[in-house]
Chains A and B, each alone.
Chain A
Amino acid sequence: MDSVNKSFSNQQVEINLLPDYQAIDFSKISIKKQQKSILQLSTLLVIFCIVFLVLYIQTQFIGTFYIAGFLLLIFILSYINIFLQQPVYAYAIREKDIAYRRGYWVTKTTLIPFNRVQHVSIVQGVFDKLLGISTLKIFTAGGQGSDISIPGLDLALAVKLKEAVAIRISVEEDE
């Protein structure tokens, strides 16, 4: 709360001297995220192939191939997209906030101050477990647009990050 601090100071803040978020040194996420995305997409592709094959055998409808061809194009673009996106994924933890960057076509950087974090969680899906990675989720009261989930973190790293964030939240709460 706003009680008077023992060591009170009130220096003028120069905007130019404030730490610049654009100068943050981001850390890349694990390359295993790329492997995971490829695995996921390939699984989907296999399922689609089977479905279309069955459909074609059942109906003998030539149009099926056009639809299949169209979908295949989308699949190819999705594969390319995975490779484009991988290098953009990055995060950084500063003293007072966390930054997360993602997206190739539209790059989005989200900055969450620790004193606005509601809770933190680690999620591990089937593919994550296979590759030994996990997703760190950070929630705020600002709704979906404001929450972040950082994929492709080695489990040990994710746990460490979670603790780092959790400690900073509790420090804020103690004040």
Chain B
Amino acid sequence: MNKQFSTPQRQSKIGVLLIFLESLFKILKGLWVLGVYLLVKKPSLEMLSYGLIGLLGLGIVTLFFSVLRYKNFKFYIDYTKEEFILQKGIFTREQLNIPFDKIQQVYLKRSLLQRIIDVYEVVIDTAGSSDKEVNIKALSAIEANSLKDILIGLSLESSFTDSSIVQANNQKVKWRHTLTPNTLLKLGVTSNYLRGVGLIFAFLATVITELNRFTTTNNSFYHEVITYVETNFTSVNAIVLILFIAFIFTIILGFIISTVEVFIKYFNLTLVQTETSMEVEMGLKTNTKTILKPRRVQMLIFSVTPIHKYFNLHKVRVVLAGSSDQFKQQKNNLTIPGLPIDKLAKIKAFLYKKDTETTDVRIKPHRILIFRNILMASIPLLIFVVFVYLFLGWSWPFIIPFILLYGIVMYFFVKKYYQGLELKITESFIIKKQGVWQQKLKIIEAYKLQSISIKQAIWLKKRGLYRVTFHTAGGDLSFPLVPQKALTSINKILYKIETSHKVWM
């Protein structure tokens, strides 16, 4: 194979246009205040023409610098030093050297503008300091893909010293899965119910507050309502009809919004697994392509609700390693919804070569968790009651049904939560099961842990209960009220980490 990209080269010629448009856009964004000022002031023709000339000048200067930036932006691969090198900058020349083994991820991205001028952006993610991310903004489809494949191949090679890894270029596709528009539609409709329930509650709350206003002003509640309705509407039926229509309308609107959201985010989601890597591509507005490497995965989260389970739409979240401040950033999280259960098993089999099923230890939290959660859940109720009683002036006959309803729902919720909570420690995995409505399964490979914390509040000393937190490079997994005798598992996990020589990131 000819050593591709071994000589310094520039981006696609059309890249000049991209750089120019982007910087022009940035400048104009900064000048919008001036634009508003001109519009308000109604300037004279003379002033306007000066402004136009100024703008034109600015455009030319921007173009000039864009060309310079394009000319000075060069990249190449040094095969002997095993580095990817990027040179850039107009006045201060900057050179970035990225050793192959520091490359974490390479993926392609496309914004709307990049789509229009038909170029791809190659993003190279590196380990270590967070801001060392390289973006090559304009490459043709062929170039972008081959650069990506080469870099991934090189980074894989350098991270596995024994050369069991085949060349990255001509890998056989093992399986491929694409989300059909039909699936997306199902996802859009089913992922809305929570918002729908929220809307219903908001709706009911307003109706009740309105009704309450009558009761507090006069004792003869029905009389008041009916006179009010009769003066404003023709009949009680009309008001009910209007309420009903408004109700249906809000729900339909909610469904439409979430369906559109799902389509924009996950349009054409495709999963491809080859011999050594897994690629995920998705998105309508910005199409992102991500390559998953098993060693980068810190945590795997499967989640499903009964509704989604019925439609066989399981959700997978892959949590990747990131620099410590970025845990909450979306960047380190890859969410893939709408997968059938057999694909879930395939993903798991690819990311974790071992079997996760042999359970050694099962840990349940102590039963006082139920009591504690009931106590915690009562706080919002208390605040709610105080608020509606003192400020909205609800009367007790209205409040008591609320308390009862909340109490019953809460009790079942807390109980279900307790029943669903479980920590499994197997030979090489730590698995947490949780969830009432949405069942979640979080999986961590034991050797990928960074550290372990064991916490104990003073009032739990007598009972010998602890909270155990497992820290990974992609976030924590925490489990409450672990009994003392289960803590021996920690010794085993420490042993696992300390005897492991595998790369964890």
Is there a chain B Cβ closer than 8 Å to A109's Cβ?
yes
Distance, CA A170 to CA B306, complexed state (A): 50
Contact B451 A113 (CB under 8 A): yes
> Which of B324, B455, B490, B504 is A111 in contact with, Cβ under 8 Å?
B490
Closest chain B residue to A2, Cβ basis:
B501
Total A-B Cβ pairs within 8 A: 111
Number of interface residues of A (CB under 8 A): 36
In the assembled complex, the CB of A53 is this many whole angstroms from the nearest CB of chain B, namely 37
Q: In chain B between 43 and 76, which residues have their CB closer than 8 angstroms to a CB of chain A?
A: none
Binding site for B on A (CB under 8 A): 1-3, 13, 15-16, 18-22, 96-97, 103-116, 140-147, 175
Distance, CA A141 to CA B475, complexed state (A): 10
In the assembled complex, the CB of A157 is this many whole angstroms from the nearest CB of chain B, namely 22
Distance, CA A2 to CA B504, complexed state (A): 13
Contact B454 A108 (CB under 8 A): yes
Known: A2-B501, A140-B471. A109 touches B454 (CB 8 A): yes
Distance, CA A1 to CA B472, complexed state (A): 21
Distance, CA A2 to CA B469, complexed state (A): 28
Distance, CA A96 to CA B325, complexed state (A): 27
Interface CB pairs A-B, < 8 A, 17: A15-B489, A18-B494, A19-B491, A22-B487, A107-B455, A107-B457, A107-B458, A111-B452, A113-B497, A114-B498, A116-B449, A142-B450, A143-B325, A143-B327, A143-B476, A145-B453, A146-B471
Contact B491 A15 (CB under 8 A): yes
Is there a chain A Cβ closer than 8 Å to B269's Cβ?
no
Chain A residues in 8 Å Cβ range of B501: 1-2, 175
Binding site for A on B (CB under 8 A): 161-162, 321, 324-325, 327, 449-458, 469, 471-473, 475-476, 487-492, 494-495, 497-498, 500-502, 504-505
Chain A residues in 8 Å Cβ range of B498: 96-97, 113-115
Chain B residues in 8 Å Cβ range of A3: 161-162
Contact B473 A21 (CB under 8 A): no
User: Apart from A19-B491, A109-B454, A146-B476, what are 7 other A-B pairs with CB-CB below 8 Å?
Assistant: A3-B161, A106-B455, A111-B452, A141-B321, A143-B473, A147-B324, A175-B501
Distance, CA A112 to CA B470, complexed state (A): 11
Chain B residues in 8 Å Cβ range of A113: 451, 494, 497-498
Contact B488 A20 (CB under 8 A): yes
Contact B450 A116 (CB under 8 A): yes
Closest chain A residue to B453, Cβ basis:
A110
> Which of B449, B458, B489, B495 is A106 in contact with, Cβ under 8 Å?
B458
Contact B452 A110 (CB under 8 A): yes
In the assembled complex, the CB of B458 is this many whole angstroms from the nearest CB of chain A, namely 5
Contact A97 B494 (CB under 8 A): yes
> Which of B162, B456, B457, B471 is A142 in contact with, Cβ under 8 Å?
B471
**Most chain B beta-carbon neighbours within 10 Å: one of A97, A105, A110, A111:** A111
Distance, CA A18 to CA B497, complexed state (A): 13
Chain A residues in 8 Å Cβ range of B456: 106-108
Chain B residues in 8 Å Cβ range of A106: 455-458
Chain B residues in 8 Å Cβ range of A15: 488-489, 491-492
